Amino acid sequence: MTESGFTIDVDQNQYLPEGGRDVSAIVTVTSAADATGFSGAGPAGGQTGSAEIIIIDCSGSMEYPHTKIAEARAATAAAIDVIRDGTWFAVIAGTNLAWPVFPADGSMAVADQGSRAAARQAVAGLRAGGGTAIGQWLGLARQTFSAYPASLRQAILLTDGKNQHETPEQLAAAISQCEGVFSCDCRGVGTDWEVSELRRISTALLGTVDIVPDPSGLAADFAAMMQTAMGKQVADVALRVWTPQSATVSFVKQVAPAVDDLTGRRASRNPQAGDYPTGAWGPGESRDYHVGVEVTPAGIGQEMLAARVSLVASSPAGDEILGQGLIRAIWTDDEALSTKLNQRVAHYTGQAELAEAIQEGLEARKQGDEETATAKLGRAVALAHQSGNEDTAKLLAKVVDVVDVDTGTVRLKKQVEDADEMALDTRSTKTVRARK
């Protein structure tokens, strides 16, 4: 345990065959059950700690059925009730424009009994009408957050439709401007929204994405999301991977609780070190990362430090190392040592392949390529079975008829509910934890 309340554990097979170059490790980062921040960030709650914005789709389609906008109002009120005293908060409504619902002047209020009641009253007046331009919504959230010095900034975004009133380029630009400013959990209600669109937002902004098929499920989901947000204690920290001159980083992926490829998000610190974003942390939280390094081969019996992995908090006062782990390489001519599979590395390699197979299979099905869809979703069935990922296996069974689970022999179902297909897509990246 480090003084900061974080531990880093490294699980790997250190042994490489003669000429071997590829080193792979699972890095587990865990925050202490009583983690309450570090010198680089204020505690959650309090006026410099947390800030929350709820972004609600008020486009015309939210009126069909009428229960949708009513449930969205109820869900927003449920989330407001969970916001802890002392937290900055605001509510934004979105159509083809975005505007502040509470506070109406575009500022943020400090949560207490009175401000929560005023916010609920303002939300009760929301009506549906107009189009959908999600980039505008994100832009107003960014502008609002930027005026406040909170170290933990999180948004909840709800939509029921596709981003029809701005170009994909406009949305991409808006997302890019929000990166590093706040995190964002996205929810799609019903089945007329685009999974890839919300996934792009949640991935870039280090949040979650999920489907709420029936509007009646919104209030419980919103309250749970806000509860999780209120539990965050440590602001954005980065996974810093340093390699010697004889090694380079091949990839860095979060693999639990969900697959998220961070490789392309490296922020270079110097030629030998780069930072990968991890977002905010709550007490007792644990995540697994798969780190791949390519090394220059050395002689039999030689050992080298392939990488040093640190958890780093940056602040104006400088960087603070919250935890550290080492990835090693040893060359051997003992085949039994060099060919031994590390079970956790193998498990997560399979989980990443599972997510990919599902997404590619569903895309092929959408394009009418039944042969590819059957092959990919069949492979996913086999991988889900092998890894014990029962939740994903259940979701797959709603899209394919399983003939043989071991070989991944399946038949595409003729009739599939849109909600079942979208649930499989949105939850495809959720992994089952590998035992140590």
Please say whether the beta carbons of 46 and 86 come within 8 A.
yes
> Residue ranges per domain, the chain?
6-40+234-339, 50-231, 344-426
Under CATH, which number does the domain 6-40+234-339 receive? 2.60.40.3670
Output the pLDDT for position 234.
86
Identify which of 278, 385, 380, 360 has the alpha carbon closest to the alpha carbon of residue 323.
278
Fill in the DSSP letter of residue 193.
Answer: S
At residue 384, the 3 state secondary structure works out as helix
CA torsion, points 425, 427, 428, 433, in degrees to nearest 10? 180
Place of tokens 């959720």: 430
The span from the CA of 190 to the CA of 110, in Å, is 32
Output the pLDDT for position 45.
37
| Bridge partners of residue 188, in order along the sequence | 159, 211
Q: How many CB atoms lie within 10 A of CB 241?
A: 24
Query: What is the CATH architecture of 344-426?
Result: Up-down Bundle (1.20)
Q: Would you write out the chain's pLDDT as a tens digit for each of its 436 residues?
A: 344 689 999 999 999 999 999 999 999 999 987 755 443 433 433 335 899 999 999 999 999 998 999 999 999 999 999 999 999 999 999 999 999 999 999 999 999 999 999 999 999 999 999 999 999 999 999 999 999 999 899 999 999 999 999 999 999 999 999 999 999 999 999 999 999 999 999 999 999 999 999 999 999 999 999 999 999 988 879 999 999 999 999 999 999 999 999 999 999 999 999 999 999 999 999 999 999 999 999 999 999 999 999 999 887 788 899 999 999 999 999 999 999 999 999 999 999 999 999 999 999 999 999 999 999 999 999 999 999 999 999 999 999 999 999 999 999 999 999 999 999 999 999 999 987 7
378: phi then psi, degrees, rounded to nearest 5: -65, -45
Output the pLDDT for position 83.
97
Would you mind telling me the total number of residues written for the chain in this entry?
436
The span from the CA of 114 to the CA of 301, in Å, is 69
Output the pLDDT for position 3.
44
Output the pLDDT for position 82.
97
Buried-state track 37-57, b at ≥16 Cβ within 10 A, e below 16: bbebbbbbbeebbbbbbbbbb
DSSP per residue over 295-311, as a string?
Answer: E----TT-EEEEEEEEE
Output the pLDDT for position 2.
44
Q: How many CB atoms lie within 10 A of CB 396?
A: 26
Identify which of 38, 115, 118, 42 has the alpha carbon closest to the alpha carbon of residue 84.
115
Place of tokens 């596709």: 162
Distance of CA 326 to the CA centre of its chain: 25
The tally of CA atoms less than 13 A away on the side-chain side of residue 121 is 8
Fill in the DSSP letter of residue 434.
Answer: P
* Tokens standing for residue 402: 């399983």
For domain 50-231, the question of CATH label 3.40.50.410 is answered with yes
Same fold, 6-40+234-339 and 344-426: no
Please say whether the beta carbons of 288 and 433 come within 8 A.
yes
DSSP H/E element including 155: strand 152-159
